[in-house]
A and B are shown apart, each in its own frame.
Chain A
Amino acid sequence: KAGVTQTPRYLIKTRGQQVTLSCSPISGHRSVSWYQQTPGQGLQFLFEYFSETQRNKGNFPGRFSGRQFSNSRSEMNVSTLELGDSALYLCASTLTSGTDTQYFGPGTRLTVL
């Protein structure tokens, strides 16, 4: 079974631009969560989607948004990029929304110049 895939793997943007990252979960998994990893703040939860609905949200500004499609694929969008948004963005999938084991993708490395 294929693992979690994320595209693109690397991205360079400038301040003020917006960006969309994509995540395809493991086949059959219906829940997708997003995390931001930075050297200063570590790994922080962004949000979780299950059956196309946002189930949980972390403490991030409204510039960070996401959605999930009927095939469980998810996208996250960051608008009006700031230098501090430079990070590794990780996506994880689970079968359901609960405390199942989360399986992580390789991440998208976003650099904001």
Chain B
Amino acid sequence: AQSVTQLDSHVSVSEGTPVLLRCNYSSSYSPSLFWYVQHPNKGLQLLLKYTSAATLVKGINGFEAEFKKSETSFHLTKPSAHMSDAAEYFCVVSWKAAGNKLTFGGGTRVLVKP
């Protein structure tokens, strides 16, 4: 079965320092890769999406992610964390054969310290 693994369940950073959230997926033909963010008691908001164009994808709020096929990874980064970045982040994959079915990683909860 296809799977997505987020390597850290919790990440704590200081405001103004870089954020790195790690994600690996099981290899398959033509995955589409997404990062979503969920603030407390809210739905999921799309941060960015990779669909086989440029390997470095820029998203909203200063986030970007790099697709590395050889490592089957899609890590999310932000150069400088802001207090408003405190939330849960999900790495999500879909495969053409599965249509619109999204497979979610377990999530990474980000804490931003002042």
A interface residues with partner B (beta carbon < 8 Å): 4, 31, 33, 35, 42-45, 48, 50, 55-56, 58, 90, 92, 94, 97-107
Cα distance, A98 to B34, chains bound together (Å): 14
Which residues of B have CB within 8 Å of A58? 101
Q: A43-B90, A43-B104 are in contact. Are A48 and B99 (CB under 8 A)?
A: yes
Chain A nearest CB from B30 CB (Å) reads 8
Instruction: Answer yes or no: B100 CB below 8 A from chain A CBs.
Output: yes
Residues of B contacting A92 in the complex (Cβ-Cβ under 8 angstroms): 44, 102
Please tell me if the beta carbons of B90 and A102 are within 8 angstroms of each other in the complex.
no
Query: B36 contacts which chain A residues (CB < 8 A)?
Result: 104
Measured in the bound complex, the distance between the Cα atoms of B99 and A98 in whole Å is 5
Interface residues of B (CB under 8 A from A): 32, 34, 36, 42-46, 49, 51, 90, 94-96, 98-104, 106-107
B100 touching A48 by the CB < 8 A rule?
yes
Also in contact, A98 and B100, with CB within 8 A (given A90-B43, A90-B44, A104-B44): yes
**B32 contact from A50, A56, A99, Cβ within 8 A:** A99
Per the bound structure, the CA–CA distance linking A94 and B96 in Å amounts to 15
Could you tell me the distance between the alpha carbons of A92 and B100 in the complex, rounded to whole angstroms? 10
Residue of B nearest to A103 (CB): B46
Which of B43, B46, B101 interacts with A101 by CB under 8 Å? B46
Asked whether, in the complex, the Cβ of B43 is within 8 Å of the Cβ of A102, the reply is no
Distance in angstroms from B108 CB to nearest chain A CB is 12
* Contact present for A56 and B101 (CB under 8 Å): yes
CB distance from A102 to the nearest CB of B (A): 6
Contacts of B44 in A (CB 8 A): 90, 92, 104
Q: What residues of chain B lie closer than 8 Å to A35, measured between beta carbons?
A: 102
A94 engages B104 (CB within 8 Å): no
Complex CA distance for A3 and B13, rounded to whole angstroms: 32
Are the C-beta atoms of A31 and B100 separated by less than 8 Å?
yes
Residues on B with beta carbons closer than 8 Å to the beta carbon of A106: 42-43
The answer to whether A45 and B43 have CB atoms under 8 Å apart is no
Least distance between B2 CB and chain A CB atoms (Å): 11
